[in-house]
Amino acid sequence: MDDLDFMKSALAQAEEAYHKNEVPVGAVVVLDGEIISRAHNNSLNGMDPSAHAEIEALRKAAVVIGNYRIKEAIMFVTLEPCMMCCGALVQARLSELVYSTKDPKSGVVVSNGQLLESSFLNHKVRYRQGPLEKESSSILKQFFNARRD
């Protein structure tokens, strides 16, 4: 599997969230070339402000490996993470983040503040923009347009 395959899996999670009337963001955690967890946003239905796709995926991955430090793992997520999620990625000691589309409103990887570059962090998560930007952006636009109508 490659970046495109992993991001397709994350996008499938976003689509699942969309069908549950959740903000359509999906994430997968990959370790040694295998997906060890999949998740999507669950904040609305779960009444949990911390139930973003990234947090949910990290929680599941930690259970799978039996450790909250998920070193050497890569997260693929359909939307640039927010401040809370970036903090969780650092705390989990994730190796790398691959996000699909930027979030000019709340994203803090590249759009606002470049949090992962902060000198005070005790762990550096590598990051890059990955595939399916158009598809990830489109499902978010569909969701928010439908809510506005």
| 102 φ/ψ angles, rounded to the nearest 5 degrees | -75, 155
- Max intra-chain CA distance, the chain: 44
Strands (E), the chain: 26-31, 34-40, 74-79, 96-101, 126-129
SS3 141: helix
Pairwise CA distance, residues 23 & 140, whole Å: 7
Which of 22, 54, 56, 80 is labelled catalytic?
54
How many CB atoms sit inside 10 A of residue 136's CB?
26
Buried residues in 70-98 as b, exposed as e (16+ CB within 10 A): beebbbbbbbbbbeebbbbbbebbbbebb
**Is 54 one of the annotated active-site residues of the chain?**
yes
Among all residues, which ones are annotated catalytic? 54
